[in-house]
Amino acid sequence: MAKKRQNIILENVRIEAVAAEGKALAHIEGAVIFVPLAVPGDVVDIRVTKKRKNYMEGLIVRLVEPSPDRLEPFCEHFGVCGGCKWQALPYEMQLEAKRQQVEDQLRRIGHLDVPEVSPVIASENTVYYRNKLEFTFSDKRWLTDEERPEDGEIIPSCPGVGFHVGRFFDKVLDIKHCWLQPEPSNEIRNFIREYAFDKGLSFFNIRTQEGWLRNMIVRNNQEGDVMLILVFHYEDVEARKSLLDAVGERFPTIKSLYYVINGKQNDSISDLPCQLYKGEEALYEKMEDLRFKIGPKSFYQTNTRQAYRLYGVARQFAALSGSETVYDLYTGTGTIAQFVSGRAAKVVGIEYVPEAIEDAKANARANGIDNCEFIAGDMKDVLTEAFIARHGRPDVIILDPPRAGIHPDVAKVILSAAPGRMVYVSCNPASQARDLDLFCHPQAENAPRYRITAVQPVDMFPHTHHVENVVALEQI
């Protein structure tokens, strides 16, 4: 017999601080409880959802007394949508929480000897700051508490287009207005939804793998140019052309209109052809005197203005004089490599995704840069002693790996290359702290040791707990 879950309500709990993963915390009889969507100073009633020996997790069931710092969330989807969970937290408190997160990961958890962590570089825009969003079509959208029918009542088909809800891979919240991307992003999505309703077009069901409309991706640049990529589950030439023509007529300012046919069981389009239906093949973004081509599959930092500040920190930490050989590992489309190339003798970029490397090469040619070389391949396979012998020993290494960090074999080759300086850019301070320990406390007897000389967090995603962090290291 299944054990009945105990319904524990903790009353009049005062929230004390912001904690990891964007949650807040309080202490109850020696145990800590983690609560999402709370603000330090709130007095709340909490329903316990998880209870362990030393900690609990819970949800707010009643806001007894709001914190004097609590703000009214600006988005109608707050609390249901999985993003922007810190809307109730003043921006200055968000920045300090992110700085503290970096400090905790590097110093308290990672036991690293670090200088003072600099204040987080704030985002110039805290809304409408993203240059790319992906929306999902679903034939059974998430219903809010107010929309759910009484027990026993049949729930009709409720299609919608928006974001996945929390941990539910098959639940999509229908989004009316998103504050992440400037217009016409919302206008395009809402127009396509209403057009689909009017024409009786089917929305995708991820469980049964049925339905036609699957995903849509909206990209934009700082000039206001827009790229739209519509993803269909299967080809229906007549319906596709009618929809794309309607979108093009309603939004004549769309610069690039693409479509993709995706009959796979996952939403990734990285291995699928993108068909240009109308307009130009790419958008372009400027950064100082550089111009970057952004295609439908191109990787580009989603907060453009903060990307400029992030790359500026990386270039500053690299401390280049013009004579150095620089390795840019996990180079993506080569933005950092090209950004530092004017102050280096030679830059070698390595990236796993071949299409990204082709973009990097094209951008370098277009920018008249002839001291950058880009190589595609798995980092642990490409970055070898033989590779270093061919391309020259690096004076400076810049790393910007995925969230999981670097492979131990990559760390070994980096240590054997023994660059004088390193710059580690990370979107995950936890994995960054683990990797930094490999450089600061290497296990091999003859390996060089490094010390951390500077730590600079950068806020790329306001109203979330995510933070980008840049660390400078120099060989001891």
466 residue type, one letter = H
N-to-C CA span, the chain:
62
Q: How many angstroms separate the CA atoms of 48 and 26, rounded?
A: 13
Checking if the pLDDT of 158 tops 90, the result is: no
Q: Are residues 425 and 377 in the same domain?
A: yes
Task: Please say whether the beta carbons of 215 and 231 come within 8 A.
Answer: yes
Q: How many angstroms separate the CA atoms of 476 and 473, rounded?
A: 9
Does residue 293 sit within a domain? no
Average pLDDT over residues 195-210: 96
Tell me the three state secondary structure of residue 85.
coil
Does residue 79 sit within a domain? no
List pLDDT tens digits, range 186-196: 999 999 999 99
Does residue 417 sit within a domain? yes
Element (H, E) at 13: strand 9-14
Q: Are residues 43 and 152 in the same domain?
A: no
pLDDT at residue number 3: 46
In sequence order, what are the residues at sequence separation of 6 or more whose Cβ sits closer than 8 angstroms to the Cβ of residue 154? none
Q: How many angstroms separate the CA atoms of 148 and 150, rounded?
A: 7
pLDDT at residue number 150: 62
List pLDDT tens digits, range 329-381: 999 999 999 999 999 999 999 999 888 899 999 999 999 999 999 999 999 89
Q: Are residues 111 and 193 in the same domain?
A: no
Pairing state of beta strands 213-220 and 132-138?
A: antiparallel
Average pLDDT over residues 12-22: 93
pLDDT band at 261 (very low <50, low <70, confident <90, very high): very high
Checking if the pLDDT of 461 tops 60, the result is: yes
In sequence order, what are the residues at sequence separation of 6 or more whose Cβ sits closer than 8 angstroms to the Cβ of residue 298? 282, 333, 355, 356, 359
Count the domains in the chain. 3
Does residue 56 sit within a domain? yes
- Is 427 annotated as catalytic? yes
Q: Are residues 189 and 271 in the same domain?
A: yes
End position of a domain, from candidates 221, 251, 283: 283
pLDDT at residue number 82: 82
Q: Are residues 151 and 279 in the same domain?
A: yes
The catalytic residue among 81, 84, 372, 427 is 427
Q: In what order do the strands lie in the sheet with 43-51?
A: 9-14, 43-51, 55-65, 31-35, 24-28, 17-18
pLDDT band at 154 (very low <50, low <70, confident <90, very high): very low
Alpha helices in 30-159 (DSSP H): 91-103
Checking if the pLDDT of 73 tops 60, the result is: yes
List pLDDT tens digits, range 125-137: 999 999 999 999 9
The alpha carbon dihedral of 297, 299, 303, 305 has a sign of negative
pLDDT at residue number 171: 82
Strand partners, 203: 213
Checking if the pLDDT of 183 tops 50, the result is: yes
**pTM of the entire structure?**
0.92
pLDDT at residue number 151: 57
Q: Which two tokens stand for residue 321?
A: 């004089």
Q: Read off the CATH number of the domain in which 50 is found.
A: 2.40.50.140
